[in-house]
Structure 1
Amino acid sequence: MTKRHITYLACTTTLVGAFLGTTPASAAHQTLVVRPGQSIQKAVDLARAGDTVFVLPGTYYETVTVKTAGVTLRGMGQLTVIQPPKKTKSVWLGTKLPGTKVTGTKLPGTKASPTCLSAGNGICVIGGKNKALKDVTIADLKVTGFAKTGVWAMGTDHLTVERVTADDNGQWGIAQEHSTRGVLRENIARNNGDAGLFLANNVKAEQGAKDSKGTVVERNRLADNRIGLTVRRLRNLSVTDNYVTGNCAGVFVVGDENKPKAGLITVRGNRVERNNKYCAKTARLPYLQGSGIVLTGTEKALVTGNTVVGHSGKSPLSGGIVLFKSFVGATSTANRITGNTLESNSPADLVNQENTKSDNTFDRNSCRASKPAGLC
């Protein structure tokens, strides 16, 4: 056990309570302590803005939904593990009448929706469509083995997810939709079915890119997923100092014909290497193998100071840094690829499959081969 973990345990010795330890009632904010065998969800339901739910080491077989602003859910790193319940008699909060479809929890004026568990997610942070849930933090724990997503957020503002390990989930490790000012920092996402980290404006609806208002994705380790990081139909965010390796594709920045276009994104200082796993084609993409950083249908992105090495494949998207016309024909415009270090990427270090007369700029990159020639 590390000194940091010992310090955490020492801090909890002053907390009392039959089910959940809490700080004295006079304190402005409480720390609610969850021990193995107890329910994280019950503690989260008791928490108020400014409170911390602190989960001690152990494996907790449940899902957790956070709907209160300003709450922190914190564990002790990979010693605190959240996995799907071993047995679930019913995972849908609804009823089924003979001859009818199953319906979920329904609030006035809304459509029925599944629970976090029935949707296949581990931790859900849920805000309203027109009123974002603010200032929630998820930190220092492991979420693994869920059918869809380890940590799923929708309708949030200034959500922080840091030092979370999200392994072996069916679709995404950590994902957020319809959210702003997020911070995804120092997380580990491995062996997830699609992206390790996934950020999007709206997963289901066709609409223009959303202003993320400065979302930050930094210092994460993304390995052995289908795609390390996907940023889809978003504007105004930064992707910095991440380590991305062993995926079928490293970093995808995706736009399309909708307006406004995806863009105004900075991809800086990342190490992207040997993303050479093979992934079969889908309805949206051809097969993937050997892609470092891919921009498709984006505008005004800055890709700079990255190290991109060791990619090899024959997919249309293979290469070190690749500009590719989106699969609905949307072009990438006014992007700048500058000051990157590229080595041993095939078919080339820099690949521009856009019209060579487009206003995308390649300059001051350290590389040996490009397609077409002359970009290095």
Structure 2
Amino acid sequence: MRLMRRVGLGAALVILAVAASKIEPVGLAQADCTVIVQPGQSIQKAIDSVPEGAVICLAEGTWEEGIDIIKGLTLRGAGLEKTKLVSKAGIYISSSLKGAVSLERLTITGGSLQNILIFGTTKVNILDSRVSGSNEEGIRILGPADVTITNSHLLENKGYGIYMQESGQVTIVNSRISNNSAGIFMMNLYAFGAIKATIIDSQITANR
């Protein structure tokens, strides 16, 4: 297991729990879809049109579009082998959120920088998903975000699997971070806040 950590003036805390050998399926709460998006339709238009707390369900297929999320909602695919978001722009999740954002049952790949950029005081859940194939980090977290990654795989990103800067926390449960250029990068250049990573029943392995 390789875990990268760099700390500036602030504090960083890493908590490691028992590593598991495999990922087991996690049951999803059955919620009605507010809207169902089919291939060829715009995910961004659906995001813009739904209310806070909506569940946007993506059918089986591939989408090639960047996505900006500035409201609390769930973006749920048909399964990580079935629903793919392939975009150089990736997914941007903003600090102006009132509620949490959940990304579920998706493959997110192809980012020219990060696949997922999380900014500010935001709560994000990533569940049953694969984040892979970016030119830099799989997930970049800037600011005091609270991110939980469950039953997911971050792999084959050319930068870090997870890059954290300034403050915030990430909880990694029953997941793998593997075959990236490095595992987790944590840096706090400022005197406020702290960076915290809690790793439970997960593997960080084969990162270069």
TM-score scaled by length of structure 1 = 0.43
Q: Secondary structure at the match of 2:128?
A: strand
Contact 1:133/1:156 (CA < 8 Å) preserved in 2? no
Change (3 A) 1:43 1:225: same
Give CA deviations for 1:119-146 in whole Å, capped at 9, x if unaligned: x531111124xxx553111111011112
Residues 104 and 126 in structure 2, CA contact (< 8 A), matched pair in contact too: yes
- What is the SS of the residue equivalent to 2:68? strand
- Specify the alignment match of 2:132 in structure 1: 167
Q: Which amino acid aligns with 2:54?
A: D
Matched, 1:139 2:142: no
Alignment of 1:232 onto 2:182: no
Equivalents in 1 of 2:203, 2:65: separation in Å?
A: 30
Aligned to 1:37: 40
Per the TM alignment, residue 222 of structure 1 is displaced from its structure 2 partner at its CA by: 1.3
| Runs ≥4 residues deviating over 4 A | none
Of the three residues 91, 94, 117, the one matched with 1:123 is 91
Deviation digits for residues 315-366 of structure 1, max 9, x if unmatched?
A: xxxxxxxxxxxxxxxxxxxxxxxxxxxxxxxxxxxxxxxxxxxxxxxxxxxx
Q: Distance in 2 between matches of 1:44 and 1:247?
A: 34
**Is 2:75 the counterpart of 1:73?**
yes
Gaps of 5+ in 1: 13-22, 24-29, 85-119, 202-209, 249-376
Kept in 2, the 8 Å contact 1:134–1:156? The answer is: no
2: CA distance between counterparts of 1:133 and 1:232? 26
For the aligned residue pairs, the C-alpha RMSD in angstroms reads: 2.4
- Cα-to-partner distance string for 1:187-209 (whole Å, 9 max, x where unaligned): 211110111122222xxxxxxxx
Does the aligned pair in 2 maintain the 1:150–1:169 contact within 8 Å?
A: yes
Quote the residue 2:16 is aligned against.
Answer: none
After superposition, the Cα gap between the structure-2 partners of 1:194 and 1:236, relative to the gap in structure 1 and judged at 3 Å, is: closer
Q: How many pairs were matched up?
A: 176
Contact 1:33 1:53 in 2 (8 A): yes
SS at 2:106 equivalent: strand
Q: Is the 8 A contact 1:175 1:199 kept in 2?
A: yes
Q: Per-residue displacement from partner, 1:196-247 (whole Å, max 9, x unpaired)?
A: 122222xxxxxxxx3x3x5412222111111122232243441222212221
Mapped to 1, the partners of 2:196 and 2:108 lie a distance apart of: 28
Q: Counterpart in 2 of 1:241?
A: 201
1:48 pairs with 2:51: yes
Which residue is 2:65 aligned to? 62
| Aligned counterpart, 2:121 | 156
The structure-2 alpha-carbon separation of the partners of 1:241 and 1:36, relative to structure 1 and needing over 3 Å to count, comes to: same
2:144 matches 1:179: yes
Given residue 74 of structure 2, which amino acid in structure 1 is its aligned partner? T
- CA–CA distance in 2 between the matches of 1:199 and 1:219? 20
CA distance in 2, matches of 1:62, 1:217: 27
The answer on whether the counterparts of 2:94 and 2:122 sit within 8 Å (CA) in structure 1 is no
Residue identity in the other structure for 1:179: P
For 1:157 and 1:228, how far apart are their aligned partners in 2? 22
SS of 2:116's partner is strand
Q: Percent identity?
A: 23
Indicate how the Cα distance of structure 1 residues 216 and 48 shifts in structure 2: closer, same or farther if over 3 A, else same.
Answer: same
Are the aligned partners of 2:114 and 2:135 in contact in 1 as well (CA < 8 Å)? yes
- Matched residue, 2:162: 197
Residues 143 and 177 (structure 1), Cα distance of their counterparts in 2 relative to 1, 3 Å cut: same
- Structure whose residues are more often strand by fraction: 2
TM superposition shift of 1:184: 1.9
Aligned partners of 1:231 and 1:162: how far apart in 2? 22
Relative contact order, CA 8 A, sep 6+: which one is greater? 2
**Distance change >3 Å, CA 133–CA 199, structure 1 → 2:** farther
